[in-house]
Amino acid sequence: MIRAMDRGRQLIRSMGLAIDSSDEATSPSKEQDPTESILHSPPINPAVGKEQAMSPPRDEPTAPIRTKPLETLQAFQDSLQSAKDLNGLLGIFVQSLHRDAGFDRVGLALLNPSDSDLLIGRVGLGVIPLAPYLRSLSGSLSREHRFFLTILKRVDPLLVPNFSDQMAGTLKQDFLDVWNPTSAIVAPLRVGARPIGLIYCDRATSNQPVLPQDYQAFQLFFAQATLGLNRLAGIL
């Protein structure tokens, strides 16, 4: 976790943000041992789960990650340390991307533990009504979501400047119709070397494109969330 915070400071500086000296002195929280296996993906907490639609984001001029970067990351890290299972950690991750990283819409989809070709939409924040958004994220990777299949084979997040540049037939038409994506960040979720799902983020409701600065902010949260997943799996 110390390495993650060091990496975070480097990325913050690369984003041109100032680091408060008092934040520099803040120590990461003590790491907890995993308490539950995450070999199979449990349901996401109903508090942020698949039947709840979240309101569109508040009209905030600047995301907390830009105004108070280290304080925001420290709070996120503390929250991850309190997670006891995959369900809780992913809920924290998704909420933080929506609330603290400044992404208007966030979608989470997980692989079916009994069918690695089946993607299941599990969480959507900043989208109303929720059900069609989750249905559009669900489907066969080999037949409907071939673009998402390429994401799951990656290790690092991908900034997609324009979804219209994707090859025809690689994106499920229902996903295009419902999400109407323009630019976004799509990232694989992994436990060790094994993909378990993916995360989608954009700024569509504020009519703002996703910029390289947004990608850097995403990386700050993504790196710590990945460490948390592996901590729960007993890999770290």
> pLDDT per residue over 62-72, tens digit each?
899 999 999 99
DSSP output for 144-175:
T-HHHHHHHT-SS-EEES-GGGSPTTSS-HHH
In this prediction, residue 77 carries a pLDDT of 95
- 29 contacts 73 by C-beta, under 8 angstroms: no
Phi-psi region of 201 (alpha: psi -120 to 50; beta: other; left: phi over 0): beta
Whether the bond into 129 is cis, omega within 30 of 0? yes
160, pLDDT greater than 90: yes
Q: Return d(Cα 12, Cα 2) in angstroms, integer.
A: 15
Tell me what the pLDDT averaged over the chain comes to: 82
> pLDDT per residue over 139-157, tens digit each?
999 999 999 999 999 999 9
pTM beyond 0.85, yes or no: no
- 62 contacts 208 by C-beta, under 8 angstroms: no
Query: What domains are there in the chain, each with its CATH number?
Result: 2-26+46-232 (3.30.450.40)
> pLDDT per residue over 22-36, tens digit each?
444 444 343 333 323
Q: How confident is the model at residue 60 (pLDDT cuts 50, 70, 90)?
A: very low
Q: Return d(Cα 146, Cα 140) in angstroms, integer.
A: 8
In this prediction, residue 161 carries a pLDDT of 95
